[in-house]
Amino acid sequence: MSDTVEATPTTGQKFTAETMGTFVLVFFGCGAAVYSGGDLVATALTFGLAVVVMAYAVGRISGGHFNPAVTLGAVLGGRLPWNQVGIYMAAQLLGGLLAGAMLFGLGNGFEGFSAEGNMGQNFFGDAGSGYAWWAALLVEILLTAIFLWVILAVTDERNEVNVAMGPLAIGLALAMIHFVAIPLTGTSVNPARSIGVGVFAGTDAIVQLWLFVVAPLVGAAIAGLTYPLLFGHGSAPVAGSGLSFGGGRKDQFVPGGYEAQWNQGQQGGWGQPGAAWGAPPQQQWGQPAAPQQQPDPAYGAPQQPAPGQWGQPVQQQPPTQPGQWGAPQQQPGQQPQQPGQGAPGHWGNPDGDDDGRTQVRRPD
């Protein structure tokens, strides 16, 4: 076991992780949409792969949200305190805008480049696919809710799936969503992704941004509130999360894998080294060791083999008392029997045999 102590990430480190992760998601995802000529498969897989890669890279620091809707779903689902929401969303918005600015700058490397309508922005109605605004609103709410249900499920500490599979499942879910929604709205499910490139894509894109901010947040709120109702929390929600707007605990970070970030403040959460659903909480660094409890044999705890079993020394039994079964009968005043001498009246020694001769007779 390593003696290295995993320190709690600072607020600055979480801010940096979320900014970097959102930048990579928007830059590569929207970049693929622009430079692949709108290829659906390439764009969908790029968005999914970007989430997978960055969740593995910085998920241990911030949990790998990269999306204000994911942060809202996490706090309403009991995984994150409200006092972290502002930091996360500000970092995500900054990362999206930096990615949009970078794509805008690089696009000007092409002669005659025009950013209007050519930034991988989201759309509906006459500005895009002709899809009605109300249908675009509903599909974005639905897809965001499904995305958040998947995230909350795969990061649930009761989920016994290998911890390394969490980011992969989330990335595949995002790619799956893009396969359906790219022809309809360009797929948002992420306000930071929509704002990051939308502000550079012209007036029509800016006017339509409201839908791609409202719909993902509504879908995330639905998923965050309903997941505990449908499937339960599994363990106590993080202090200051959900519909409680109090401050979170200062010791809310739990060192461990990617899923531990989604159960901040829950000792023994899924994703901690050696932790499993139903296992006792792990001892945290800096805390005194809890006293060891003796296993209860009544509940299937392992027991030591009884003496005389294979591999165990045979314990000598104490000598039997006179009168017990198998012990020689002794009359008052009579000397104890010597080993090897039969007692009178017992099979193998005839009654009244005083000369010590051994006689054999058929038992009665």
CATH 1.20.1080.10 fits 11-263, yes or no: yes
**196 pLDDT band (50/70/90 cuts)?**
very high
Q: What is the model's pLDDT at position 184? A: 97
Checking if the pLDDT of 158 tops 80, the result is yes
Residue in this structure with the two tokens 């403040």, named with its chain if needed: 265
Q: Cβ-count burial of 214 within 10 angstroms (0-12 exposed, 13-18 middle, 19+ buried)?
A: middle
- The tokens for 153 are 């499920």
Of 33-37, 269-273, 308-312, the range with the highest mean pLDDT is 33-37
Q: Which residues make Cβ contacts (< 8 Å) with residue 330, sequence separation at least 6?
A: 322, 336, 337
**Cα 63 from Cα 13, distance rounded (Å):** 12
Q: What stretches of 36-84 show up as alpha helix (H) in DSSP? A: 40-62, 68-76
Q: What is the model's pLDDT at position 351? A: 47
**Cα 78 from Cα 243, distance rounded (Å):** 9
Q: What is the mean pLDDT of residues 7-28?
A: 96
Checking if the pLDDT of 359 tops 80, the result is no
* C-alpha dihedral (329, 335, 338, 341), degrees to nearest 10: -60
**Cα 364 from Cα 359, distance rounded (Å):** 14
CB-based contact 259:60 (threshold 8 Å): no
**Cα 192 from Cα 10, distance rounded (Å):** 23
**Cα 205 from Cα 213, distance rounded (Å):** 12
DSSP 254: -
Q: Cβ-count burial of 361 within 10 angstroms (0-12 exposed, 13-18 middle, 19+ buried)?
A: exposed
| pTM of the shown model | 0.70
Tens-place pLDDT, residues 264-294: 544 333 233 333 333 333 333 334 444 444 5
DSSP per residue over 104-157, as a string?
Answer: HHHHTTSTT---TT-SS----GGGTT---HHHHHHHHHHHHHHHHHHHHHHT-T
**263 pLDDT band (50/70/90 cuts)?**
low
Tens-place pLDDT, residues 331-357: 555 555 554 444 444 444 444 444 444
Tens-place pLDDT, residues 65-104: 999 999 999 999 999 999 999 999 999 999 999 999 999 9
In a 13 Å sphere around the CA of 362, the CA atoms on its Cβ side amount to: 1
**Cα 17 from Cα 12, distance rounded (Å):** 9
Checking if the pLDDT of 210 tops 80, the result is yes
Q: What is the model's pLDDT at position 6? A: 61
Of 110 and 271, more confident: 110
Q: What is the model's pLDDT at position 314? A: 47
What are the respective helix, strand and coil percentages of the chain, to the nearest 5? 50, 0, 50
Residues in the chain: 364
Q: What is the model's pLDDT at position 242? A: 83
Q: What is the mean pLDDT of residues 92-117?
A: 96
**Cα 131 from Cα 122, distance rounded (Å):** 12
- The tokens for 6 are 């995993």
Instruction: Give the angle 302-306-308 at the CA atoms, nearest 5°.
Output: 145
Q: Which residues make Cβ contacts (< 8 Å) with residue 141, sequence separation at least 6?
A: 215, 216, 218, 219, 222
